[in-house]
Amino acid sequence: MPDDVAAARTPAPHGADSEVGRLRTVMLHRPGKELSRLTPRNNDRLLFDGVPWVARAQEEHDAFAQALRDRDVEVLYLTDLLTQSLEVPEARAVAIDTTLDDPHLGDTLHDYLHRFLSDATPAELTSYLTAGIRNDEVRGGFGLVTSLLDADAFLVDPLPNLLFTRDSSVWVRDRVAITSLAMPARRRETQLTELIYTHHPRFAGTPRIHGHHLEHVEGGDVLLLAPGVIAVGVGERTTPAGVERLARQVFDDDLAHTVLAVPIAQERATMHLDTICTMVDVDQMIVYENVADSLVAHAVTRGEEGRLAIAAPRPFLAAAAEAMGIDALHRIHTGLDPVTAEREQWDDGNNTLALGPRVAVAYERNDATNARLEAAGIEVVPIAGSELGSGRGGPRCMSCPIARDPLPA
């Protein structure tokens, strides 16, 4: 783990009310052993498009983290927070029980693994929970399950998608929403994230909304367009029921006055709303040109007697601007032509991370997109991502903002 060179200081108050308030604290996950568990036989099931070069991915991620620190952003690592949380006996017990809640293990193997994990140190337990356990790595629990499984079969799956910390939690003002991930390969991620927010002393007393056991909502689909206005993509990962639940929660807690439900294509290239568009200023958004004109939004607001009021669909940018109380939400095209736009969208050209108004981190390889951003007055902080991008995620996907400065009224 690289040294955290940020100077000791009082942490910024946790929370965020926009995508572009100055970023103060972020949670990342440095790729580790779990990434080396990917093979051509399991990468599809584990949601990676290839088998990344792990050492290079780590170099790229270290450079990403350093670029954030260079802008005075406090960087927290998910595995550090998890290890510290696992010092708490209750957290250990929950982590072990939820990990082994799998009928495929059988009683003999389940009981052995429970004893094995219970004897692990917090650091060892973090490694087992994130990198997984293979059949040829156990020294007990032998029975029919271990006999019939291949030697290199995983008894506990690795979690390579931990890299994308955006998806498992979202801060909405001073609350953290624990999300519910749709794909089986990712469901344990939110359980670990919930452990951190429940048991780590840094987050003691933090109010929470949603939860890993509820309807599917993924952080990559949630955009805080402005204070009180949240856009949520509905597609491959986030469901209409998930948006409905989230809307009720944010309205009940006075965290937002409008939720925009934005249908998106249910395909891998557009798995989340932030693969299509991200905010780079208070009134500017980078949008995938090939779908910009077809995006619509249903404005959801608080209705009478606790019901939700659902508006008819309108063009997304117009509905967003009206909810945000601005004349227009300006879009920046992501490519010079449909082919370039499609190539750079696939390479996460739209998936930028705003460090503040008009400053955004982006993958360096998306030349046309970055040139358009700079032409629009956006400062681009370029990072390498040839290996990091193999899981289909850019700078926004790889970061969970924990503290942003509130936008001026």
Could you list the active site residues?
A: 397
Q: Residues for the chain: how many in total?
A: 409
* Structure tokens that stand for 266 in this block: 């249910």
For 331-345, letters b (16+ CB in 10 Å) and e give bbbbbeeeebbbbbb
* Structure tokens that stand for 380 in this block: 């681009």
The phi, psi pair for 232, rounded to 5°, reads: -130, 120
* In contact, 275 and 267? CB cutoff 8 Å: no
Residues 6+ apart with CB under 8 A from 348: 275, 363, 366, 385, 389, 392, 393, 394, 395, 397
* Cα 236 from Cα 219, distance rounded (Å): 13
For residue 112, the tally of other CB atoms under 10 A from its CB is 19
Cα–Cα distance list, 246 to 196, 232, 233 (Å):
21, 9, 12
* In contact, 209 and 230? CB cutoff 8 Å: no
Cα–Cα distance list, 281 to 30, 133, 171 (Å):
28, 44, 19
Classify the C-alpha dihedral 310-262-380-390 as positive or negative.
positive
For 225-263, letters b (16+ CB in 10 Å) and e give bbbbbbbbbbbbbbbeebbbbbbbbbbeeebbebbbbbb
